[in-house]
C-alpha cells in the first residue's frame, strides 16, 4: 500500500494548518487519474468538495489540524518545516500497511525533508519527497484535495462563528485583511484563530495601536 501526504494552510495568517494522508493500492492510481484528481489549487471549490467526498468514502485517510495558537507556540522552538515534518510523519503512521509514502516537500531540500520525516516514523517506510508532488503523483493530489476541502470547511465555520466573511485566511486575500483590520478596530485585539506570530498580524495590530496614539495626540 502507498500513501500520499499534503497540507493546506501553511502560509495563512488566519486559520489552521491542515495535513491529510490518503492510502491506496498501487493499481488505484489509474482510478484517481480517471476521477481527475490533481493539485487541489487547480480545482474549483465545488469539485474539490465532490472529490474529497469520493476519496474519503473509498480509501483510508487521516486528517490532522494544527490550530493558529499551537502554530504560534510551536514556532517558538521550531521552524514551520520541522513542524510540518512531524505532522507528516504522524499522518503517515496512522495509515497501517503503508510501505511507501509520497509527500509534497515543504523544504527547499527535498531529500532533507524526507530525512526529517523518516526520523520521526514509528516504523520503516520509504519516503519520496518532491516539490509539486500533488501534480506528479495522483495519491498526493488526493491528499491535497482532502486537506484543502477540510480547511475550506473549517474556514467557513470560523466565518460563521465570528460573524463575517473571513476569506481564505491568506495575507494576499483582501477580504481576510479587511476582516482582521475591522476586528482590531472594534475589539482592540486580533480576532481568534489568528496566527499572532505572523508578520502580517503584527503589522495590523501595530498599525492600529499607532493610529490610536495619533488620534489621542490630535485631541
216 confidence band (pLDDT: 50, 70, 90): low
Q: Which of 33, 52, 60, 17 is nearest to 135 (CA)?
A: 33
Q: Compute the average pLDDT of residues 120-148.
A: 94
What's the pLDDT at 45?
A: 87
Does residue 152 have a pLDDT over 80? yes
Residue 56 in grid coordinates: 474519503
Nearest by Cα to 52 from 154, 131, 124, 130: 154
- pLDDT score of 218: 53
CA dist 65 and 18 (Å) reads: 4
pLDDT above 90: residue 213: no
The conformation of residue 14, written as its DSSP 8-state character, comes to: B
User: How many C-beta atoms surround the C-beta of residue 15 within 10 A?
Assistant: 28
Q: What are phi and psi of 120, to 5 degrees?
A: -110, 0
Question: What pLDDT, in 10s, does the model give residues 32-55?
Answer: 999 888 766 778 889 999 999 999
The pLDDT assigned to 6 comes to: 96
Domains of the chain in start order, with CATH, are 2-158 (3.30.420.10), 162-210 (1.10.10.460)
Which pLDDT does position 215 carry in this prediction?
57
Amino acid at each position: 500500500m502507498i500513501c500520499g501526504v499534503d497540507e493546506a494552510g501553511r502560509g495563512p495568517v488566519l486559520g489552521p494548518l491542515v495535513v491529510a494522508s490518503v492510502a491506496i493500492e498501487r493499481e488505484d492510481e489509474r482510478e484517481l487519474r480517471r476521477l481527475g484528481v490533481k493539485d487541489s489549487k487547480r480545482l474549483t471549490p465545488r469539485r474539490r468538495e465532490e472529490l474529497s467526498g469520493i476519496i474519503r468514502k473509498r480509501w483510508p485517510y487521516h486528517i490532522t489540524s494544527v490550530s493558529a495558537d499551537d502554530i504560534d507556540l510551536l514556532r517558538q522552538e521550531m521552524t514551520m518545516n520541522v513542524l510540518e515534518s512531524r505532522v507528516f510523519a504522524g499522518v503517515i503512521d496512522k495509515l497501517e500497511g503503508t510501505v511507501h509514502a509520497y509527500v509534497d516537500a515543504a523544504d527547499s531540500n527535498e531529500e532533507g525533508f524526507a530525512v526529517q520525516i523518516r526520523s520521526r516514523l514509528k516504523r520503516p517506510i520509504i519516503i519520496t519527497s518532491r516539490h509539486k508532488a500533488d501534480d506528479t503523483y495522483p495519491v498526493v493530489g488526493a491528499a491535497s484535495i482532502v486537506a484543502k476541502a477540510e480547511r475550506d470547511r473549517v474556514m467557513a465555520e470560523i466565518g460563521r462563528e465570528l460573524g463575517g466573511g473571513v476569506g481564505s485566511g491568506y495575507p494576499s486575500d483582501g477580504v481576510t485583511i479587511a476582516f482582521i483590520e475591522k476586528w482590531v478596530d472594534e475589539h482592540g485585539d486580533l480576532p481568534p484563530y489568528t496566527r499572532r506570530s505572523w508578520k502580517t498580524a503584527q503589522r495590523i495590530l501595530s498599525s492600529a495601536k499607532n493610529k490610536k496614539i495619533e488620534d489621542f495626540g490630535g485631541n
